[in-house]
Amino acid sequence: MQNKFVFTGGPCGGKTTTLEELKRVGYCFVSETAREIIQERLSKGLSPRPKLEEFANECLKLDIQKYDKYAKSSTTLFFDRSILDSLYMLNNEAKINASELKSHIEQYEYNPIVFVFSPWQEIYVTDSERDQTFEESQKVSSDLIKWYSTHGYKTIEVPKTSVKNRVEFILKTIKNAV
């Protein structure tokens, strides 16, 4: 648990770019499931997302597989979103009951520090995989902060600065938390 750090927040906050830089300097990360599903669907000529419940369930299933794959790893891992993000989607659709939600949250733990990347107007773009408006992205980010906090995680906002400075901030935060 202590070595699994989550990056969350609304679309276009710089999560993936920061993860790529962490990878460049020697860290490992687990890619975002939702983006993989969207890319696969687009490659097959389908719409980017199926109905939200189906999409959230598929994300959850794949997020659990990824978590299980790395569960015993002793190396520091960064997750581009997590099982909790998928549970958030399901909960918003009222498609998960309280006992199932509690069971998932207890079974699949991450480090209590969660790094939040809020949408950043200056870098915000939409594309075939990211179609939310900036305002929708802000709402998602705000909701995710509340969601993680409700479930016992400490959310830490990553400053809107250079990628290098973001990586330094994250690594310093992790080091100081140990």
Bridge partners (DSSP) of residue 29 are: 78
User: Average pLDDT for residues 14-33, to the nearest whole number?
Assistant: 93
Q: Residue 126 above 80 pLDDT? A: no
Secondary element (H or E) of residue 164: helix 163-177
Instruction: Write down the pLDDT at residue 55.
Output: 85
Instruction: Write down the pLDDT at residue 94.
Output: 73
CA 129/CA 177 separation, integer angstroms:
34
Per-residue model confidence as pLDDT tens digits over 35-83: 888 888 888 888 777 788 888 899 999 999 999 998 888 899 999 999 9
Counting DSSP H helices and E strands in the chain, the numbers are: 7, 5
Q: CATH code at 148?
A: 3.40.50.300
Return the structure tokens found at 70: 């790395």
| More confident: 134 or 28 | 28
Instruction: Write down the pLDDT at residue 127.
Output: 61
Q: Residue 29 above 90 pLDDT? A: yes
Q: How many independent structural domains does the chain possess?
A: 1
CA 168/CA 117 separation, integer angstroms:
15
Instruction: Write down the pLDDT at residue 12.
Output: 78
Domain, as residue range, for 113: 4-177
Q: Give yes or no for a contact between 125 and 14, defined as CB atoms under 8 angstroms apart.
A: no
User: Average pLDDT for residues 100-124, to the nearest whole number?
Assistant: 90
CA-to-CA separations, 175 to 2, 13, 51, in angstroms, rounded: 12, 23, 41
CA 58/CA 78 separation, integer angstroms:
21
| More confident: 37 or 169 | 169
Percent of the chain with pLDDT over 70: 94
> DSSP string covering 62-113, please?
HHHHHHHHHTT--S-EEEES-HHHHHHHHHHTT-S-HHHHHHHHHHS---SE
